[in-house]
Amino acid sequence: MNAVKLLKQDHQRVRKLFDEYDAASDRSSKKKREIAETIFQELELHRRLEEEIFYPAVNARANQEVKELVIENLEEHQEVGSLIEELRELDPEDAAYEESFAQLVESVQEHIEAEESEMFPEAEKRLRDQLDEIGSQMEEEKEMASTH
């Protein structure tokens, strides 16, 4: 599968999980924690795929402007990673949890929008001949991660 298409599917899956989390807001914190943990796992895998496979491929064919975009995206990944660590330490019934989770959602949504409007068009232009190969690598990684 085309790498950009695969990453967009991941984005859709995370958006759907955010909706499920919101819908569970009146339910038990156990249900919310389960959905949140699924979100964290999805984001961590997605982040790893981008950092280890996708971004290096884009960077290899990038001009200075695109290289800066890659750096910016990596910094956003760090922020998301820190928020996930923080959330795993908090109790879902704590007000700070809801604040941090809302911050995570906002950060991820902004990252998705920027990636889909800036990074992905650049990747499609620069990696046209490699997108299927890169996507296959990412699919293999996903399969290996799901069997562990």
pLDDT in tens, 78-123: 999 999 999 999 988 888 998 999 999 999 999 999 999 999 999 9
- Which sequence spans correspond to the domains of the chain? 3-146
Tell whether pTM > 0.85: yes
Statement: residue 32 has pLDDT above 90: no
Displacement of CA 16 from its chain's centroid (Å):
13
**Torsion sign, CA atoms 103, 106, 110, 115:** positive
